[in-house]
Amino acid sequence: MSVEPDLAHYVTAHQAVKAELPGSALNWLDDARCDALGRFCELGFPTSRDEDWKYTRLTALQKRQFQPPRSAAADLDSEMLAELHIADLDCHRLVFVDGRFEQSLSSTEGVEEGITVLPLSAALNAVPDAVQHHFGKCASLATRGFSALNTAFSGEGAYVHLKTGATLGRPLFLLFASTGQQTDLMTHPRIVVAAEANSKAVIIEKYAALGDAIYLNNPVTEIDLGVDAEIDHYKLQEESHKAFHIATLEVRQARGSRFISHLVSLGGQLVRSDINSDLGEHALCELNGLYMATGRQHMDFHTRIDHSMPNGTSKEYYKGVLDGRSRGVFNGRVYVHPDAQKTDAEQSNKNLLLSRHAEIDTKPQLEIYADDVKCAHGATVGQLDDNMIFYLRSRGIDEAAARGLLTYGFASDVLDAMSLTAVKEGLRDQLIEWLPNAEQVRELVK
């Protein structure tokens, strides 16, 4: 097979670590990895000729020679890693450092009967047949090269299985930390969640860095919801400002299921997030997102909600704050299939530009092939209101603080939809710290 020069490195890297990957003795997984690598080589990296990547160029990523994790574990700084946890959050916890599971930093004691929570590497040993049944059930490799690349190198991440009627009493916190100790590290976390009928769980993914290293994080999350199952999903992206974060979330929703997503993106040099959900009858999907970029950060968000059956409801609410020479991309598509009568779909994307050099390309889309539906969508792009700044200044607040307070007000309402107080309050603090005049704003919002 002929391989393009910028892809050959990944083939060589795969050959070098293939035998060391968790579950390498499982024939089905070995076949899946090899097939995925072949598919990645066929697809290659997306280019601006691909409509979904029109505004996002991967030249800087393609120039790097990313390497899988070395066999030697990273030197752990427990105190610094502890700072990446969410304060006051009572949770089960799986911690991964530079692509490797860290048992000493993890805790899943007290998980209820009927629920399996394991690092993927352990699940491949303990329950390989169950993993096989759910692995790749939602993630599509047909047109997504980065998902194929993830599958080729997959072996670590999380496996969560909730049996019928089971409820996870405490949130599950999945922390993926990068130490920067390995140059040009690439990691491919795979998170597989299978929620059977009437089961419930709250799952938090956090991606964060201890330093400002260059690395590639390419996670894929698959969530399969049974009849009337409920998953609240949080994703907190706080990578190094030199990192590449390319993520895919695939959700399949059976009848009456409920999926709520909260995404907050603050870090990364180049960030791409794809979220895709397919709704069954009477299913509910809510996507809430906040992205804040500065400097030369580039953040790209693509969502697709497929209403395949009647009486589905989807609500999407994304906000962006862009400063410096940063660039944002939002493309949200709601696709209403011919049989999806009585669909109720709403979509909104609002953006605040703090600099004349910042850019946003926003494209909310509705494709409707049913005639009895209620659908709406819209997008806005603007700057801070000069009248509001003048009003605050007339009340004794200086201009910098006034601008910060208005920015905080614009962004913080996305957090109001979050039910986890510890996550919400932690993010409010981070939102304030993101502002150049944080201390003044903190005093004003008390």
For 297-359, what is the HEC assignment? CEEEEEEEEEECCCCCEEEEEEEEEECCCCEEEEEEEEEECCCCCCCEEEEEEEEEECCCCCE
pLDDT band at 2 (very low <50, low <70, confident <90, very high): low
Is residue 23 over pLDDT 80?
A: yes
- Among 251, 356, 261, 355, smallest CA distance to 315 is for 261
Hey, how many other C-beta atoms are within 10 angstroms of the C-beta on 140?
Answer: 13
Minimum mean pLDDT among 46-55, 271-280, 419-428: which range?
A: 46-55
Is residue 103 over pLDDT 80?
A: yes
pLDDT given at position 41: 93
pLDDT given at position 73: 63
pLDDT given at position 5: 76
Q: Give the integer Cα–Cα distance in Å for 332 and 318.
A: 9
Tell me what the pLDDT averaged over the chain comes to: 94
Give the pLDDT confidence of 151-206 residue by residue, as tens digits.
999 999 999 999 999 999 999 999 999 999 988 999 999 999 999 999 999 999 99
Give the pLDDT confidence of 148-159 residue by residue, as tens digits.
999 999 999 999
pLDDT given at position 437: 83
pLDDT given at position 48: 87
Q: Ranked by mean pLDDT, which of 40-44, 79-83, 305-309 comes out on top?
A: 305-309
pLDDT band at 141 (very low <50, low <70, confident <90, very high): confident
Is residue 440 over pLDDT 90?
A: no
Average pLDDT of the residues in 87-107: 95
Global confidence as pTM: 0.96
- % residues pLDDT > 70 (the chain): 99
Average pLDDT of the residues in 81-109: 94
Is residue 116 over pLDDT 60?
A: yes
Average pLDDT of the residues in 232-238: 98
Q: Is the dihedral of CA 55, 382, 363, 267 positive or negative?
A: positive
Average pLDDT of the residues in 279-289: 98
Distances (CA, A) of 341 to 253, 281, 346: 17, 10, 15
pLDDT given at position 253: 98
Q: Give the integer Cα–Cα distance in Å for 425 and 432.
A: 11
Give the pLDDT confidence of 356-409 residue by residue, as tens digits.
999 999 999 999 999 999 999 999 999 999 999 999 999 889 999 999 999 999
Distances (CA, A) of 17 to 2, 41, 177, 284, 338: 21, 18, 21, 41, 46
pLDDT given at position 36: 95
Q: Give the integer Cα–Cα distance in Å for 141 and 104.
A: 34
Q: For 86, which DSSP code?
A: P
pLDDT given at position 74: 67
Average pLDDT of the residues in 10-32: 94
Q: Give me the phi and psi of 236, to 5 degrees please.
A: -115, 115
Give the pLDDT confidence of 312-340 residue by residue, as tens digits.
999 999 999 999 999 999 999 999 999 99
Q: Give the integer Cα–Cα distance in Å for 254 and 58.
A: 35
pLDDT given at position 444: 86
